Structure 1
C-alpha cells in the first residue's frame, strides 16, 4: 500500500465497540477513510447511515467482502462470529482487525494467523489497553529498575455490580468466549503477556459471584488467574483478577512488588468512561488521569526506612489512537502490527488453561 493512499476501512457491526472504540479513532487519523459500515438492522436512533451519511452502508458482511475498494476490515461483532468473518475477509484480500477476544479458541486463532500469512494479509487483534496511560507508565517504571527483581505482580479489573444484569449480551450469556475471563480477563492477560511472555504454569478460579444468576444460563462474572514465571529458586507470581462484587470507592488496579520497591495504583484508565460520555479525542483532557489516580512508588532505603513518592502518569497520554497509528504504518510497510494474531493465540491458550484449571481443580502447565 502506497504511503500517500488513504486506507479504506469497512467496519462489521455497529454496536458499542464500533461506535466507541473504533470509528472515533479511525476518523481522527488522516491515514484512514471510513469507507463502509455493515449494520444488518438499523433502527430509529441507531442508524449508521444517519450517523455517517458519507459512508457506504451494507446489510451483509459478504457485500463488504465483495467490494474491492475496501483495504481493511474491522470486525466488531460478537466473538462467535469472528472466525468466519475474519476468514472470509482474508480470503477476499482484505487486511483485518478483530476485536478481543479474538476468537473462541486458540486453535482457531492459529488457523487464522496461518491463513493471513499465506495470503500475505495483515491480521491484528484489538487489545487497546496496551495503550492505557497507567500501563504505559508502569512499563517505564519496570524498565527503570527501581523495583528490582519482581516477586509479585497483581493486575485488577474489579467492579461493584452485585445485582444481576438488566439485559443480556454475549458478555453475560453462556456462549462461546463469554464471561469475565474472556471479556475483562483477556485485557489483563494480554498486558501480562506483553510484559513477560508465556507463563510456566496457570491456575484458574472462574466464578459466578452475583446472587440470583442462573449459573447454567449465565456466563461467569469473576475470575482469578495465577501465573507462575521463572524457576522455583527465582519465581515470579502474577495475579490476574476481575470481580463483579468489589465494594470499593477506589478499586486497586496494579500492585507490583520487587526486591527494591513496590508500585501501587488505583482506578482504571479514563479513556473508556470519557468516550462513553462523549468526550472528543481533540479535547486536551482526553486520556489524562486525575492526579488522585496517580500511582505510588515505594523504595526501600539502605537505612531501613522507605522513600515514598507519587508517580505522575506519563504525558501526553498515548491514547488508543496509537493502536491505529501503529497499524497504519504496518499497512504501509513500516513495521509490525500493534498486536499480532500469534500474541492473541497465546493469550487464548492461557485463558483455556485457566478454565481447564478451574474445572479440574489442578494447575495446568504451559
Structure 2
C-alpha cells in the first residue's frame, strides 16, 4: 500500500509521518508541502520521501491513500480534492467545522465510490484502552458516570485557531471516546472558556452528555489549567478507576521516536503512571494496556485489502460532529440541547 501525506506541519510531521514510515507492508510515498522549510525537515527526517506541490502530482506518482493533515479551515477542500481524484482519504480531526460540512464530505465520498475515514488516533491511547478493558470485563459493574479531561498549561495555544478552538479540536477526541463507550446521546450541556472577550476561539470547555443508556459523561479540556485533574475517572457500581497524566505516545512522537525506532518501548506506560481501582476504602494499581496508535493504519490496511470495516467510519465522525454542534448551541443559548437519540449515530460497540 502506498500512502501519501498532505501537510507537514505539527500534525503531519509528528502524528502521521512516524507511523507511516513504520508501517509494515506499506510505502510512505510522498508529502504535499510547498514550504521550503518543511521540505528541508522532510528530507532530513525521512530521506527518500519525495515532496510534491499538489495532490494531483502526488496522485499521479501513485498512491492508494491520501492523509490530509492541514489546519481545519482549508482541510475540507483538500479532502474533496482527494476524493475527486478517486483515492481513499483519511482526514485529520476535527473532521469538519459543523455537521453540514461533514455530511457534504461523506456524500461526496459515496458519490465517488471512494472510502473515507477520520484519524481518531486516541481510540488507541493506553489509558483509554485500559478503560475499555475494565468496562467490558465488568470490573467496574454498571458505569454511572464517565469523566474525561485533557488539561494543560499552554498559553501559546490560546489563539491557535488551526483546529477551530479547543472544543472543536480536542473535544472531537473526547466526544468520540464517549460515544464509542456508551453510545448515542440525548442531552448536551456545555460551557466554554474565553480568556479575552474578543477572542475568536475558545481555550477551554466543559460538556455534559446524557447518553440514551443513562450514563452521564463529563468532558473537559483547557490550555490554561495549571493543576490538571485526572485524565479519566470512571465510576461504576463495583468501584472506580482513575488515572492521571496523558498517554505517552504523544511525548514519544514529539521526541522524534516512532513505533519502528522505539520498538517494544512504544506505547508502554511505566508502572508509576498506572491508574488506580478503588472501592470501599481499598485501592490497587491497574496495569495500563499498551498504547498503539499504529493500529489505525494497520486496520486501514486490512480494510483496503478485504473491503472490511474501516478503523473509524465516517458516520462515527458525523455523530461526534453533531454532538459538538449541540455543545456550541448549548453554550450560545445557555440551555440543555435535546438530540434525536439515533441521529447520525453509527458507533458500534465492540
Same fold (TM over 0.5): yes
Give the root-mean-square deviation of aligned CA atoms. Answer: 2.0
Q: For residues 134 and 169 of structure 1, what CA distance do their matches in structure 2 show?
A: 27
2:299 to 310, 319, 326: 326
Shift of 1:285: 2.2
Do 1:202 and 1:226's aligned partners in 2 also have CA atoms closer than 8 Å? yes
For structure 1, the residue ranges without an aligned partner over 5 or more in a row are: 1-6, 172-176, 300-304
In the alignment, structure 1 residue 98 sits paired with structure 2 residue 71: no
TM-score for the superposition, normalised by structure 1: 0.86
1:197 to 157, 168, 183: 183
In the alignment, structure 1 residue 64 sits paired with structure 2 residue 63: no
Shift of 1:111: 2.1
TM-score for the superposition, normalised by structure 2: 0.90
2:201 to 219, 225, 236: 219
What is the DSSP-based 3-state SS (H/G/I as helix, E as strand, rest coil) of the residue aligned with 2:82?
A: helix
Q: Where does residue 75 of structure 1 map in the other structure?
A: 68
The structure with the largest alpha-carbon Rg is 1
Shift of 1:116: 1.6
Q: Where does residue 211 of structure 2 map in the other structure?
A: 229
In the alignment, structure 1 residue 345 sits paired with structure 2 residue 331: no
Do 1:185 and 1:242's aligned partners in 2 also have CA atoms closer than 8 Å? yes
Closer, same or farther: CA 265–128 of 1 in aligned 2, 3 Å: same
Write out per-residue CA displacement over residues 292-346 of structure 1, whole angstroms, 9 at most, x where no aligned residue. 22111123xxxxx4432110002xx241111100000011125211111111111
For structure 2, the residue ranges without an aligned partner over 5 or more in a row are: 340-350
Closer, same or farther: CA 255–121 of 1 in aligned 2, 3 Å: same
2:273 to 279, 293, 304: 293
Closer, same or farther: CA 359–263 of 1 in aligned 2, 3 Å: same
Do 1:323 and 1:338's aligned partners in 2 also have CA atoms closer than 8 Å? yes
Do 2:8 and 2:38's aligned partners in 1 also have CA atoms closer than 8 Å? no
Structure 1 residues 36-45 or 334-343, which shifts more? 36-45
What is the DSSP-based 3-state SS (H/G/I as helix, E as strand, rest coil) of the residue aligned with 2:21?
A: helix
Q: Where does residue 101 of structure 2 map in the other structure?
A: 108
Closer, same or farther: CA 47–292 of 1 in aligned 2, 3 Å: closer
1:242 to 221, 235, 240: 221
Q: Where does residue 26 of structure 1 map in the other structure?
A: 20
Closer, same or farther: CA 204–167 of 1 in aligned 2, 3 Å: closer
Do 1:159 and 1:251's aligned partners in 2 also have CA atoms closer than 8 Å? no
Q: For residues 44 and 286 of structure 2, what CA distance do their matches in structure 1 show?
A: 44
Q: For residues 258 and 61 of structure 2, what CA distance do their matches in structure 1 show?
A: 32
In the alignment, structure 1 residue 170 sits paired with structure 2 residue 161: yes
